Structure 1
Amino acid sequence: MKLNYKKIGQGKPLIILHGLFGSADNWLTIARDLEKEYTLYLVDQRNHGDSPHSEEWNYTAMAQDIAELMESEGLDSAFLMGHSMGGKTVMNFAMLYPEKVDKLIVADIAPRYYPVHHERILEGLNAVDLQNAKSRKDADDMLAKYINSAPIRQFLMKNLTRKDGGFAWKINLQTITKNIEEVGKALESDNTFDKPTLFMGGANSDYITEKDREDIERFFPNSHIIHLKNAGHWLHAEQPEAVSRTIRAFLEKE
């Protein structure tokens, strides 16, 4: 599948993948801080952003999408980074195509299984009556009946776009709802990835815990784990300077 992406900067290629319900724009602030040193590919994963929709939605397919992107860009290898769902994608990619990854960064996710915990969000998104929404505020008001948090709604509403005189979701809501179990699946592979790998978590998040260390070291023996202070799961939004600084230090280290 030919994915949509933004390409900015100059230098060694760094491919960044967003999380569930996200898009390439989520990492634009970080990219702007790194663009003098790296060529950044900010990617919309399938069924997200402006990338195509497909009923096939799993980590093998999403990893193959990245391989296709790299081939189309003439990239033999690159630095890869993914947040949350994107982190699962890059982990799977590293198992399938280790020769294409120079270094790996996984942001606030571990290789383990995560139970589905997006039911309320999906219920709210599916309840928005797009045909009768006259404005973005109408859609937000409908979503607010299910999601109290204004910041979460603001993030989700970035997926709302104008289409044919009305509104539509950029995400493939039907397929995501039907296959939401795919997001939390554990990494399954007989392989290991031996190149430098950084697991970067938020200190206020429970997505990467000490219990995950064994799994992480089994799949990624040349890895280390850090947690950024005053950051939760959305570490790139909460602590962008610390995230950029950490990325830069890890990638520049010999």
Structure 2
Amino acid sequence: MKLHYRDLGQGTPFVILHGLFGISDNWQTLAKYWSQKYHVYLLDLRNHGRSPQSTDFNYDLMVEDLSEFITEHNLVNPVIMGHSMGGKVAMNFALSHPNQVSKLIVVDIAPRPYPVHHQDIINGLNAIDISTMTSRTEAETALEPYIPETDVRLFLLKNLYRKEDNSFGWRMNLAAIERNIAEVGRETIADVPFTKPTLFVKGGNSRYIQEKDVPSIQRLFPNVQLVTIENVGHWVHAEAPEKFYQLVVDFIG
């Protein structure tokens, strides 16, 4: 599958993968700063953003998509970074394609399995009748009973776009995501560890990476640094952009 992407800058190739319900635009602001040092590639994963949609949705396929992208664009020794679901893609890719990665950055997700915990979001998105909707305000109003946090609602509604006939549509394939939602929490496993430099970044207020996850992280990624940015949640890069920017630059070099 040929993924939609945008790229900025010159230098070391730096591939960034968004999380579930995200799009490449989520990283645009930080990418502009990183592009002063690196050649940044912002990808839309399958069934997200402007990338093709498919009834099939799992990590094996997303890893294949990423490998195809790296090969097609002749990226040599790229740094791969992923947040949340994108972090799972990045982990799986590094473990299965170690020769196509120079350094790995995983943002606020661990290798362990996660139970399905996105049902409120899915129910809220399904409650939006985009066939009759005339404004984003209507969509946010429909979503509010399911998602009380304003910032999360606005994040999700970035997936809405206006079609040529002025009606609304979703950038994401909500039906495929819902049908395969258990895949998103799938455990990351491998017989052979990824031994190149790896950085795990945890949000201090987030529960996605816990103390119990450290042994599995160190087993799969023995050359790892685990850094906590305090007083932020799961969206580490959005809540502490300056600290996160510098942490990534110091790691990549």
> TM-score over 0.5 for the alignment?
yes
Distance 1:20 1:194 in 2: 27
Aligned to 1:165: 166
Corresponding residue number in structure 2 for 1:207 = 208
1:14 correspondence with 2:14: yes
**Contact kept in structure 2, 1:95 and 1:192, CA below 8 Å:** yes
Task: Kindly indicate whether the alpha-carbon contact (under 8 Å) linking 1:11 and 1:39 is maintained by their aligned counterparts in 2.
Answer: yes
Which residue pairs with 2:179 in the alignment?
178
Q: Which amino acid aligns with 1:247?
A: V
Q: Where does the alignment leave 5 or more consecutive residues of structure 1 unmatched?
A: none
Q: How many residues are matched?
A: 252
Q: Once the two structures are superposed, what CA deviation does each residue of 1:66-114 show, in whole Å capped at 9, x if it has no partner?
A: 1111111111320000000000000000111100000000000000011
After superposition, residues 182-201 of structure 1 pair within 5 angstroms as 182-201=183-202
Q: CA deviation at 1:228?
A: 0.6
How far did residue 208 of structure 1 move? 1.0
Q: CA deviation at 1:138?
A: 1.5
Task: Using structure 1 for the length normalisation, give the TM-score.
Answer: 0.97
1:29 touches 1:240 (CA, 8 Å); kept in 2?
no
Q: Give the whole-Å Cα distance in 1 for the aligned partners of 2:29 and 2:237.
A: 9
Q: Indicate the residue corresponding to 1:249 in structure 2.
A: 250
Q: Distance in 2 between matches of 1:46 and 1:52?
A: 6
Distance 1:206 1:136 in 2: 31
Amino acid at match of 1:248: V
Query: How far apart, in 1, do the equivalents of 2:76 and 2:100 lie?
Result: 6
Match of 2:116 in 1: 116
- TM-score between the two structures when normalised by the length of structure 2: 0.97
Matched, 1:239 2:240: yes
Q: Secondary structure at the match of 2:49?
A: coil
Using the alignment, how far apart are the partners of 2:246 and 2:76 within structure 1?
26
Q: Helix, strand or coil: the match of 2:110?
A: coil
Task: Output the aligned Cα RMSD.
Answer: 0.9
**2:102 is paired with a residue of what secondary structure?**
strand
Contact kept, 8 Å, 1:5 with 1:44, in 2: the verdict is yes
1:19 touches 1:85 (CA, 8 Å); kept in 2? Answer: yes
The corresponding residue for 1:23 is 23
Q: Secondary structure at the match of 2:6?
A: strand
1:42 maps to 42
SS of the residue corresponding to residue 125 of structure 2 reads: helix
Q: Is the 8 A contact 1:202 1:231 kept in 2?
A: yes
Alignment partner of 1:130: what SS? coil
Distance 1:139 1:240 in 2: 28
The amino acid across from 2:90 in the alignment is V
Counterpart Cα distance in 2 of 1:89 and 1:54? 17
Q: Distance in 1 between matches of 2:192 and 2:173?
A: 31
Residue of structure 2 equivalent to 1:107: 107
SS in 2 for 1:57: coil
- C-alpha displacement of 1:190: 1.3
Aligned-pair distance for 1:49?
0.6
Aligned residue for 1:144? 144
Task: Give the distance between the partners of 2:77 and 2:53, measured in 1 at CA.
Answer: 26
SS in 2 for 1:39: strand
Q: Percent identity?
A: 50
Question: Distance between the aligned counterparts of 1:238 and 1:207, measured in 2?
Answer: 16
For 1:86, the equivalent position in structure 2 comes to 86
Q: Is 2:74 aligned against 1:74?
A: yes
Q: Which amino acid counterpart does residue 54 of structure 1 have in structure 2?
A: S
Write the distance in 1 (CA, Å) between the matches of 2:19 and 2:132.
29
The residue that corresponds to 1:95 in the other structure is 95
Moved more, 143-152 or 238-247: 143-152
Paired residue secondary structure (1:115):
coil
